[in-house]
Amino acid sequence: VELTNAHLDAIERLDGRLNSFITRTPDQARVAAKAADDILAKGEGGALTGIPLGIKDLFCTNGVRTTAASKILGNFVPPYESTVTSNLLRDGAVFLGKLNLDEFAMGSANLNSAFGPVENPWKRNGSDAKLVPGGSSGGSAAAVAAGLVLGATGTDTGGSIRQPAAFTGIAGIKPTYGRCSRFGTIAFASSLDQAGPMARNLQDCAILLESMAGFDERDSTSVNTPVPNYEAALTRGVKGLRVGIPKEYHAPGMPAEIEALWQQGINWLKAAGAEVVEVSLPHTKYGLPTYYIAALAEASSNLARYDGVRFGERVKGDSLDALYEATRAAGFGEEVKRRILIGTHVLSSGYYDAYYLRAQKVRTLIQRDFLNAFEKVDFLLTPTAPSSAFAQDEKPTDPVQMYLNDIFTVPASMAGVPALSVPAGLDAQGVPLGLQLIGKFFDEETLIAAGHVIE
Ligand code: GLN
Task: Give the model's confidence band at 188: pLDDT under 50 very low, under 70 low, under 90 confident, else very high.
Answer: very high
Span 48-70, pLDDT tens digits: 999 999 999 999 999 999 999 99
Q: Is residue 298 part of a domain?
A: no
Whether the pLDDT of residue 252 is over 90: the answer is no
**Any ligand 1 atom below 6 A from CB of 86:** no
Q: What is the rounded distance in angstroms from the CA atom of residue 62 to the CA atom of residue 77?
A: 7
Whether the pLDDT of residue 445 is over 90: the answer is yes
Task: Give the model's confidence band at 420: pLDDT under 50 very low, under 70 low, under 90 confident, else very high.
Answer: very high
**How many structural domains does the chain have?**
1
Q: Report the nearest-CA residue for atom 4 of ligand 1.
A: 107
Q: Is residue 442 part of a domain?
A: no
Q: Which atom of ligand 1 is nearest to the CA of 192?
A: 8
Instruction: Give the SS3 label for residue 153.
Output: strand
Q: Name residues whose C-beta falls within 8 Å of residue 169's C-beta, 6 or more positions apart in sequence.
A: 122, 145, 423, 426, 432, 434
Whether the pLDDT of residue 439 is over 90: the answer is yes
Whether the pLDDT of residue 96 is over 90: the answer is yes
Residue pair 56/153 in contact (Cβ under 8 Å)? The answer is yes
Whether the pLDDT of residue 312 is over 90: the answer is no
Q: What is the Å distance from ligand 1's center to 309 Cα?
A: 27
Q: What is the Å distance from ligand 1's center to 343 Cα?
A: 14
Q: What is the Å distance from ligand 1's center to 160 Cα?
A: 5
**Any ligand 1 atom below 6 A from CB of 154:** no
Task: Give the model's confidence band at 288: pLDDT under 50 very low, under 70 low, under 90 confident, else very high.
Answer: very high
Q: Is residue 43 part of a domain?
A: yes
Between 310 and 249, the more confident residue is: 249
Average pLDDT score over residue span 223-236 = 97
Model-level pTM greater than 0.95?
yes
**Any ligand 1 atom below 6 A from CB of 261:** no
**Any ligand 1 atom below 6 A from CB of 408:** no
Count CA atoms within 13 Å of residue 427 on its CB side. 26
Q: Is residue 104 part of a domain?
A: yes
Whether the pLDDT of residue 395 is over 90: the answer is no
Residue pair 68/86 in contact (Cβ under 8 Å)? The answer is no
Average pLDDT score over residue span 408-434 = 98
Instruction: Give the SS3 label for residue 299.
Output: helix
Whether a cis peptide bond, with omega within 30° of 0, leads into 136 is yes
Type and span of the H or E element at 143:
helix 138-145
| Cα distances (angstroms) measured from residue 44 to each of 40, 41, 211 | 5, 7, 17
Whether the pLDDT of residue 404 is over 90: the answer is no
Q: Which atom of ligand 1 is nearest to the CA of 161?
A: 8
**Any ligand 1 atom below 6 A from CB of 110:** no
Q: Where residue 217 sits, what CATH number does that domain have?
A: 3.90.1300.10
Q: Report the nearest-CA residue for atom 10 of ligand 1.
A: 106
Task: Give the model's confidence band at 416: pLDDT under 50 very low, under 70 low, under 90 confident, else very high.
Answer: very high
Q: Report the nearest-CA residue for atom 5 of ligand 1.
A: 158
Task: Give the model's confidence band at 448: pLDDT under 50 very low, under 70 low, under 90 confident, else very high.
Answer: very high
Between 373 and 255, the more confident residue is: 373
- Tell me the ipTM for this assembly: 0.97
Average pLDDT score over residue span 221-226 = 96
Mutate to test the pocket of ligand 1, among 137, 157, 190, 191 (most ligand atoms within 8 A of CB): 157
Average pLDDT score over residue span 411-428 = 98
**Any ligand 1 atom below 6 A from CB of 108:** yes
User: What residues form DSSP beta bridges with 97?
Assistant: 24
Q: Is residue 452 part of a domain?
A: no
**Any ligand 1 atom below 6 A from CB of 211:** no
Q: Is residue 261 part of a domain?
A: no
Question: Catalytic residues, which ones?
Answer: 56, 136, 160
Q: What is the Å distance from ligand 1's center to 237 Cα?
A: 31
Residue pair 197/444 in contact (Cβ under 8 Å)? The answer is no
**Any ligand 1 atom below 6 A from CB of 188:** yes
Q: What DSSP line would sit under 317-384, residue for residue? A: -SSHHHHHHHHHHHHS-HHHHHHHHHHHHHHSTTTTIIIIIHHHHHHHHHHHHHHHHHHH-SEEEEES
Q: What is the rounded distance in angstroms from the CA atom of residue 216 to the CA atom of residue 234?
A: 26
Average pLDDT score over residue span 401-419 = 95
Task: Give the model's confidence band at 160: pLDDT under 50 very low, under 70 low, under 90 confident, else very high.
Answer: very high
> What are residue 76's phi and psi, to 5 degrees?
-85, 120
| Cα distances (angstroms) measured from residue 371 to each of 364, 377, 440 | 10, 10, 8
Other CB atoms within 10 A of residue 44 CB: 10
Q: Is residue 380 part of a domain?
A: no
Average pLDDT over the chain, rounded to whole? 97
Sequence letter at residue 97: G
pLDDT of residue 251: 83
Residue pair 299/381 in contact (Cβ under 8 Å)? The answer is no
pLDDT of residue 41: 98
pLDDT of residue 256: 93
Chain center to CA of 277? 28
Q: What is the Å distance from ligand 1's center to 326 Cα?
A: 27
Instruction: Show the domain range for 221.
Output: 2-233
Q: Is residue 323 part of a domain?
A: no
Could you list the beta-strand ranges (E) of 392-442: 419-426, 432-439
**Any ligand 1 atom below 6 A from CB of 156:** yes
> What are residue 261's phi and psi, to 5 degrees?
-65, -40
Q: What is the Å distance from ligand 1's center to 9 Cα?
A: 31
pLDDT of residue 206: 98
Span 133-152, pLDDT tens digits: 999 999 999 999 999 999 99
